[in-house]
Amino acid sequence: MQSAVSEPDFELAARLFDTLAQKTHDTVGITRASYGEGEQFAHDLIAQTGRLAGLATTTDVAGNLYVTLNGRDPAKGTFLIASHLDSVPQGGNFDGAAGVIAGIAILTSWKRAGFEPPGDVAVMAIRAEESTWFPYSYIGSKAAFGVLPKTALDIARADTGRTLAQHMAELGFDPNAVARGEAHCTRDRIRGYVELHIEQGPVLVGRDIPLALVTGIRGSFRYRDARILGEYGHSGAVPRAYRHDSVVAAADFVTRLNLEWERLESEGQDLTITIGKLFTDPAQHAFSKIAGEVGICIDVRSHSKLTLATVLAFIDQLSAEISEKHGVRFDLGPLTGSEPAEMDRDLLARFTAAAAELNVPHIHMPSGAGHDAAVFAAAGVPAVMLFVRNQNGSHNPDEAMRMDDFELAARVIARAVAGLS
């Protein structure tokens, strides 16, 4: 029976990947908008697959999906194999979906083989992980624990302008229950969590290794819609001493922030700082005008809360200095972010042992990107993540995870979860 238990249904997995690619392709890449048509199609596909296999399916008040195989002792609580199904606009087919499809391939195989795990095991398809749609981190997983702030329900989706609450209600979910903090996941009900995800960087490809066990997840803070406000003026008529040039102020700000990153990194501190957007107003900018406004977004990430706090204070100080120096004003806008998270040592050891038993080459590495596993770890649930090798990065149409690498990762999950007591 062990061979049947350990071997997920990879033919099913390939069909699911193909169906998602066909049905959520946007002519350029993959688009499965959070609480939108593409994400809903993916959730319906996984739910239908579970029901056809004889597995129990349910959703919580926020629309997170649970496909469950009952174990020998339900009192042990549920072990979750989880990830998300939404994507960024014009993204790839594997980011998020790989973890859900690995779970459903494992449980359908176990159900067919008549295998009963020690406790219940469920695949969780999490809503709204990609904050490009609603600028708030971990909407689905926080709602599952009943800790999504009420104010998040008023956030408008980037493409439609309708609120999160409206989108939830349109799909038949209950934003009022979300606002009340109604929780489906609690520490006493969830005994563990594993999330498989494609690696979103080049490390595994560069080292020619198919699998990584994730040791921790960086926390972050973001200023998504900051502005540097100066004064428009004629490019030929205003001398330098009289200018309030937003572009010059922005250049000074970015340069000095990058130098601070370099300094902190030289001290051994874990840190990334990214200026993902830097732009003038196309309705007002011109060849012969001094720019009076620059838009900028700031993304800061670290495994250290202290480092995050240090950079946050530095940005406050730097923006004040730049304002005085260049005669501009900073409007940083709302501050959002997430806490760093460490993965559970016991689970990390168990999954590492499973990889070794199956002779799967692997390394340990931290995650630079945020993932729902961080919410489960913060709630006290033992959590672990696996990265599978993925060519061409993520959040683009060229994601190219190889199925043989995916199969190795799924086998490791099956081996580790099957033996959990």
What does each C-alpha distance from 211 to 12, 59, 193, 405 come to in angstroms?
22, 31, 18, 8
| pLDDT (tens place) for every residue of the chain, 421 residues total | 344 456 999 999 999 999 999 999 999 999 999 999 999 999 999 999 999 999 999 999 999 999 999 999 989 999 999 999 999 999 999 999 999 999 999 999 999 999 999 999 999 999 999 999 999 989 999 999 999 999 999 999 999 999 999 999 999 999 999 999 999 999 999 999 999 999 998 999 999 999 999 999 999 999 999 999 999 999 999 999 999 999 999 999 999 999 999 999 999 999 999 999 999 999 999 999 999 999 999 999 999 999 999 999 999 999 999 999 999 999 999 998 888 999 999 999 999 999 999 999 999 999 988 899 999 999 999 999 999 999 998 999 999 999 999 999 999 999 999 987 5
Closest CA to 405 of 417, 387, 392: 387
Strand runs labelled E in 303-374: 329-331, 335-338, 341-342, 362-367
Q: How far apart are CA 43 and CA 22, in angstroms?
A: 15
DSSP 126: E
Q: How far apart are CA 364 and CA 353, in angstroms?
A: 12
The H or E element that residue 61 is part of is none
What's the Rg (C-alpha) of the chain?
A: 23
Residues in the chain: 421
Q: How far apart are CA 370 and CA 144, in angstroms?
A: 17
Q: Which tens digits make up the pLDDT trace of 341-382?
A: 999 999 999 999 999 999 999 999 999 888 999 999 999 999
| β-pair partners for 298 | 223
Q: How far apart are CA 332 and CA 222, in angstroms?
A: 10
- How far out from the chain centre does Cα 46 lie? 19
Q: How far apart are CA 417 and CA 178, in angstroms?
A: 30
Q: Which tens digits make up the pLDDT trace of 281-307?
A: 999 999 999 999 999 999 999 999 999
Kindly write down the DSSP assignment for every residue of 155-213, as one continuous string. Answer: PBPTTT--BHHHHHHHTT--HHHHHHT--S--TTTEEEEEEEEE-SSSHHHHHT-SEEE
Domains of the chain, first to last: 2-218+340-418 (3.40.630.10), 220-338 (3.30.70.360)
Q: What angle do CA 92, 366, 382 make, to 5 degrees?
A: 95
